[in-house]
Structure formats: structure tokens, C-alpha cells
Chains A and B, each alone.
Chain A
Amino acid sequence: MKVLVVEDELKIADYLYKGLTEQGCSVDLAHDGLDGQHLALEVDYDVIVLDQMLPGLDGLALLKSLRTAKDTPVIMLTARDRIEDRVKGLRAGADDYLVKPFSFMELLARLQALTRRGRKQEATELHVGDLVIDLLARKASRNDRRIDLTAKEFALLSVLARHQGQILSKTAIAEMVWDVNFDTNANVVEVAIKRLRAKIDAPFKTGLLHTVRGMGYVLEERPAP
């Protein structure tokens, strides 16, 4: 994935570059609006991460000039969280919006969502190690042993399996499983993961559902230590 990051805050630009590069993206950096505009118009990117407040040329103006020429997906970053700002950004043609402070995991998830458009047909059966998830029959089994899951547990498992190998934050999980798009103190995701783990991991030798402390959860087969 080829990404352009237009961000004047050096520390943010730095970790975005590092984080995205490590996720396998090829990243270009621009530290002001004019550089950003030049790159955005000259190079074909899969997605552009655009700060709203920029020296030289502000994010909205850059976006407007970009939209006259290209449809590159754009995710806006802003420190101002007023609905007018959001509406202004979306009107100007932004595809998504993130308010600072945002988590890197969330940015990554949104970037993937933006570039996933027109992706290949979803599989009907997912495999994670010896775990098999039949999305049509809504059944899961491990080592040919049927695992009984409630509807929500199955929804959680299929979300994790669709993103296997990828760390999902609690916020992302809450949004994908329960369609809850607000911050809450309720530790619903932790409890749900605990229950799911009790069903899919506890009876078996190897665990597939891992906690990445501070980041979220990942479903993957890890080599035995």
C-alpha cells in the first residue's frame, strides 16, 4: 500500500512513517501543505493521511485542489472535534476523519478499510490453525470438535478471524461486533474475549486468541515456544 502522510508535527509524522512502513506500506512524508499538494498531485497513492492544520496550505484547501484532479482516498486528522469541522472536511471530499489524540491501531484499521474497496470476494470458510469457521452455517470447530458459541461470540470470532494476524483494538472490535461507535468505560470486549477464549482455547493445547497488552487482541497461530 502506497501512503502519503501530510503532517507538520514532526513527532507524529515520524511515528506514522515508522508504524506504517513496518506494516508493509510504502510511505512518503510531506511536512507542509505545498509539498503535500505537489506529491499528492504528482504521485498515485492508495491513500493519503492529511492533517487539517498545515503551514503553507491548509488541509482543506489541499483536499479541494486534490479533488479537482483525483479521487485518492483521504483520511483527515484534526485536533478540533467540532461537528462543523467534521462536516467541512467531509464536504470538501475527505473519506474519513480521525480526531487527535487517536490510536495508531485505529488509523491502521481505517486505512485498511479505505483501501479495501473492491477487494476480492469474501471467503465462506476461514481457517486459523486448526480452527475452522464456517461463516454460512455460523459454526466453528477445532480439531473436528464442534464448539458451541452464542451468536455474539460467533460474531466476535468471525471478526477476529477475518482480520487474523492483525491486532484489533477494543474500540474497533466494539464497532464491528456491536456497532457501538462511542467510547465507553464498560469492559464488554475484555469479558467477551475471556468467554470466547474459554471456549476456543481452554480445551485445547495451543492458544490462538492472544492479548497484545495496551493494543488489543489478535487471532493467529503462533509457533509453540
Chain B
Amino acid sequence: MNAIHSIAGRLAAMFALAALLVLSILAYILDRELATVLERQQVEQLDTKFKDIDYVLKRLRGPEQWERIHAKLDALTPPDRSTQYWILSDDPQIRYGNALAEIVSISQDASSVGELRIGGRAEPMLIRNDYFPADERHAALRFIVGVDSEPYARTRRAFRTVMLASVSGGVLLVALIGYLITHWGLVPLKRLSREAHALSPSMLSQRLVTAQLPAELSDLAQSFNGALDRLEAAYQQLESFNADVTHDLRTPLTNLIGHTQVALSRERSVPQLVEVLQSNLEDMERLRGIVNDMLFLARANQGERPQQLLRTSLAAEVHKAIEFLDFLLEEAQVHVRVQGDAQAPIERSLFCRAVTNLLHNAIRHSPPGSEIVVELAAAEDHARVTVSNPGPAIPAEHLGRLFDRFYRVDASRTNSGESHGLGLAIVKAVAAMHAGNVSATSRGGITTVGFSVLLDAQDSA
């Protein structure tokens, strides 16, 4: 697995970055602190040396004592010359130290503490420079002490090396530990992944084991199982749908083959042959109807949208459908009442087809003398059409499946000639094409089936 794309690798890198950041800040702070402390120490060292001389100068009895002072300064100067003394004065008797150009140049200034870079040395010297005015004991003089900062610089260099090493080591260690921790923490995920790998279409009811998973993964596994549930349901629906469609196609095909074979097995008169052809034609028309409706549903399922949406009165379209079904309504002695209206962008022939199917469905299930009520209402962003008719109660388990293709509440009615069980599936498809949905209820002897269409066509485009 590519380390950059593995969670463990990425987390380890992120841990390392975090460690680098924190340790670097710490190292910086420590380094600054060390520098301050060292500087103070240097100044203190300088002050101590200076005080010695100051003391000597204050106790000076006469010019003859300069020899002793020079000897003392010689003694104080270590062999590596890390501490150096200079006395500058117009009186040659007082002068001490080889007067380097750099020293002479600073001597013009007033008393000061500062750094001075002296040729031949890697590090600058810390210099204290004081002026003593002439008095009865000696001429005006300038006393300078220099302390080499090399040992301090060395300390800082050593400190920096150690810090650099420990920061890098720390970062690497954190990355390694981070990697191991993540690896260990991801063990349940690996297990989950192995389980998911083992899922196969032949064992649809298989699910991921969620019992021992940490909370974060448990959620994921449960959602995944939920998706599997839905897939299984869809798969089973598809399978039963296949069985249904095969059944619905098989009946007319059997008729066709049977009738034709029987007809051809004997010498037949022309009227008899005509009779067979006519019967065949009826079955073939039925097949054509099923195939056309299936094609329509397939297109709707593939997300086909209506091409010509026209904002229009839904009640007007419902009245058109009622006019078409008028003869059937009279035959069934059923009356239709339309309540309300709504304006919505629809493709009229699709909408009319859906309403016709709903009404036809209602007519077939209404007892003579009853009334079918079509209600139209706009609510929020959808306009809803519902068709209610008195009729036998439909058990709840059937209600949700009414819109499935080839689904029939009464299984014994599967071969009721004209109806092939796609009517409500087409209603659902039309609703989907208008970004709407379908609903069905059965309460108090009234069956209500309806669908909705989106009010604002812009959203559905």
C-alpha cells in the first residue's frame, strides 16, 4: 500500500509534523534562554575582572606602582588570551597591552560595554571600556577589559547540536509510534474491510458484524448494512419483477403458440384461420402494450424528464381525463367530484395519463352509485392530486407496493385480461418525471391514491 494513501502513513506524517512544530518551538525558546543566561554570565565575568582593576586603581599610591599593576595584569591574562587588558593613556608609563587599531578606534567613545571583533579571532570579544579622568595620582587613562566569547559560543553550538539531534530523533520516534498506534487503531477497520470483501451476490442476507466495533466504525458499518438492506430489497424486487414480467409475457405467448399450432395441425377453412389470426392479434396487441409500457417505465427510471413543461390548471387536465372516461363512469354508475385546483408546470399528456390511470383504477374498485373524489391542492413546493374512492380496505403491507410494476393486491386477478398491472407504476413514473412522489392510504372504507408534481420547474431541470 502506498504510504501516502494509507491512513496510518498519513497520520504518522501528521504526528511527525506536529512533533516537529512543538519541539522546534521548545528548542527555540531554550536556545534564546541559554543565550540570555550566557550573555549575563559574560557581562558578570567582565564586571568581576573590571572591579579588580578598579580596586587597584583606587588604591594607587604613586606612579611607581604601575609596574606592579602591569605585572598583575600579565598574571591575570591567561595563556590562551581569552581575557585581555588594555590601558590607553597619554602617559607612556601607564600604557598597557598592544594597542590594536580596533582598540584605539573604540577608545574615543565614552564608557561603554560592547562587542569588538578583533582580527585573528573566530568570535568577537566582549569589551568593557571605562574612562578615568586625570587626578593627583595618575594621568587620564582609559581602561579596557575584553573577554573572549568563544567558550560561550562553543556552549551554544554544542547545545544547538544536541537540540537538533534530539528534535530529529523525537520527530522520528513520534512518527514511528504514531504509525504503530494508528496501525493498531485501524485493526477493526481492516477486519471490516475483509468482511466487506467476503460479501457476495449469492449471499444477499449477509451483513457486517457490528457488535465489537468501536463507536465510529459501528456507525459506518450500520449505514453500510442499511445500504445492503436497501440493495437486497431492490434486488429482490427486481427478481420478483422479472418473474412477474416473464409471467405476463408468457401468458399471451403461450396463447399465440398454442392457437397457431392447433390451427396448423389440421386442414382449416378460411373463416377458422381468420378466427385464429384475430385471436393472435389480440394477444400480440397485449404484448405490444406491455412492451411499450415497460419501455416507458425504463425511460422514466433512467431519469428521463419531460421535454415540454407547461404551467397549466391541473383541474382542467383532470376534467379532460374525466371526459375521456365518461362512458366508463356511466357504465359503472360512479360519479366524480373535483375539489380545488392548482397551477403547476406539467407535460399535459403525461399528467393526463397518470390521472386517467388513477381514475380507471378507482372506477374498477368502486361500488355502483358511489362517488370518486379528486382533490387538487398546492402545498409548499408540490401540487398534489389524490383520487379517493369507497372500496374494500387494502392491508398496510400492500399499500406501499401498489406502485410496484405488476403488483396486484389480489393475486388471483393476475390474468384479468385488459389490466396488466402497470397502471400505478406508470403513475409513479410520471410523478418521478415531475420530481414528485406517490402516496396511498386506506382508511375507513376509503382508498386514496395520489401523486405530486413539483411546483417550481426550475428545480427539476
Contacts of B331 on A, CB cut-off 8 Å? 191
Contacts of A113 on B, CB cut-off 8 Å? none
A103 to B299, CA, bound (A): 21
| Docked-complex contact A188 and B328, CB < 8 angstroms | yes
Q: Say if the beta carbon of A183 comes within 8 Å of chain B.
A: yes
Q: Say if the beta carbon of B238 comes within 8 Å of chain A.
A: no
Question: Contacts A182-B349, A183-B293 given: A188-B307 contact, CB under 8 Å?
Answer: no
Q: Which of B263-305 contact A (CB under 8 A)?
A: 277-282, 284-285, 287-289, 291-293, 295-296, 299, 304
Q: Say if the beta carbon of B324 comes within 8 Å of chain A.
A: yes
Q: Say if the beta carbon of A176 comes within 8 Å of chain B.
A: no
Q: Which of A81, A152, A183, A214 interacts with B289 by CB under 8 Å?
A: A183
Q: Say if the beta carbon of A121 comes within 8 Å of chain B.
A: no
Q: Say if the beta carbon of B389 comes within 8 Å of chain A.
A: no
Q: Say if the beta carbon of A186 comes within 8 Å of chain B.
A: yes
Q: Which of B11-19, B156-164, B366-374, B415-423 contacts A (4 or more CB under 8 A)?
A: B415-423
Nearest B-chain residue to A189, judged by Cβ: B327
Chain B CB count within 10 A is highest, among A99, A183, A184, A213, for A184
Question: Contacts A184-B353, A214-B282 given: A81-B299 contact, CB under 8 Å?
Answer: yes
How many of chain B's residues have a CB under 8 angstroms from any CB in A? 38
| Docked-complex contact B352 and A82, CB < 8 angstroms | no
| Docked-complex contact A101 and B291, CB < 8 angstroms | yes
| Docked-complex contact B327 and A188, CB < 8 angstroms | yes
Contacts of B296 on A, CB cut-off 8 Å? 81
Question: Contacts A184-B356, A213-B282, A215-B281 given: A191-B327 contact, CB under 8 Å?
Answer: yes
Contacts of A214 on B, CB cut-off 8 Å? 277-282, 284-285
Q: Which of B291, B307, B349, B356 interacts with A186 by CB under 8 Å?
A: B356
Nearest A-chain residue to B363, judged by Cβ: A186
Q: Say if the beta carbon of A187 comes within 8 Å of chain B.
A: yes
Chain B CB count within 10 A is highest, among A101, A152, A212, for A101
Q: Say if the beta carbon of B409 comes within 8 Å of chain A.
A: no
Q: Say if the beta carbon of A185 comes within 8 Å of chain B.
A: yes
A214 to B252, CA, bound (A): 14
Interface secondary structure of B, over-half rule = helix
A103 to B285, CA, bound (A): 8
Question: Contacts A82-B299, A213-B282 given: A180-B288 contact, CB under 8 Å?
Answer: no
Nearest B-chain residue to A192, judged by Cβ: B327
Query: Could you tell me the distance in whole angstroms from the C-beta of A190 to the nearest C-beta in chain B?
Result: 9
The chain B residues found within 8 Å of chain A, CB to CB, are 277-282, 284-285, 287-289, 291-293, 295-296, 299, 304, 307, 320, 323-328, 331, 349-350, 352-353, 356-357, 360, 418-420, 423
Q: Say if the beta carbon of A195 comes within 8 Å of chain B.
A: yes
Q: How big is the A interface, by class?
A: 20 to 34
Nearest B-chain residue to A191, judged by Cβ: B327
14 contacts between A and B (CB under 8 A): A81-B296, A81-B299, A152-B323, A179-B320, A180-B352, A182-B349, A183-B293, A184-B353, A184-B360, A185-B419, A186-B324, A214-B280, A214-B281, A214-B284
Chain A CB count within 10 A is highest, among B278, B285, B324, B418, for B324
Q: Which of B285, B291, B349 interacts with A181 by CB under 8 Å?
A: B349
| Docked-complex contact B307 and A185, CB < 8 angstroms | no
A41 to B323, CA, bound (A): 46
| Docked-complex contact B288 and A101, CB < 8 angstroms | yes
A103 to B281, CA, bound (A): 10
Q: Say if the beta carbon of A83 comes within 8 Å of chain B.
A: yes
A179 to B325, CA, bound (A): 12
| Docked-complex contact B323 and A178, CB < 8 angstroms | yes
A212 to B274, CA, bound (A): 11
Contacts of B324 on A, CB cut-off 8 Å? 174, 178, 180, 186, 188
Contacts of B349 on A, CB cut-off 8 Å? 181-182
A81 to B278, CA, bound (A): 28
Question: Contacts A103-B288, A214-B285, A215-B281 given: A182-B327 contact, CB under 8 Å?
Answer: no
A214 to B279, CA, bound (A): 7
Contacts of B328 on A, CB cut-off 8 Å? 186-188, 191
Q: Which of B279, B295, B327, B419 interacts with A81 by CB under 8 Å?
A: B295
Q: Which of A99, A152, A182, A192 interacts with B352 by CB under 8 Å?
A: A182
A166 to B353, CA, bound (A): 28
Query: Could you tell me the distance in whole angstroms from the C-beta of A35 to the nearest C-beta in chain B?
Result: 29
Q: Which of A141-163 contact B (CB under 8 A)?
A: 152
Query: Could you tell me the distance in whole angstroms from the C-beta of B294 to the nearest C-beta in chain A?
Result: 11
Contacts of A188 on B, CB cut-off 8 Å? 324-325, 327-328
Nearest B-chain residue to A153, judged by Cβ: B327
A81 to B288, CA, bound (A): 14
A184 to B324, CA, bound (A): 11
Query: Could you tell me the distance in whole angstroms from the C-beta of B350 to the nearest C-beta in chain A?
Result: 8
Nearest A-chain residue to B331, judged by Cβ: A191
A210 to B246, CA, bound (A): 35
Inter-chain pairs besides A179-B320, A185-B423, A186-B360, 19 sampled, C-beta below 8 Å: A101-B288, A101-B291, A152-B326, A182-B352, A182-B353, A184-B356, A185-B289, A185-B360, A185-B418, A186-B324, A187-B418, A188-B328, A192-B327, A195-B327, A212-B278, A213-B278, A214-B281, A214-B285, A215-B281
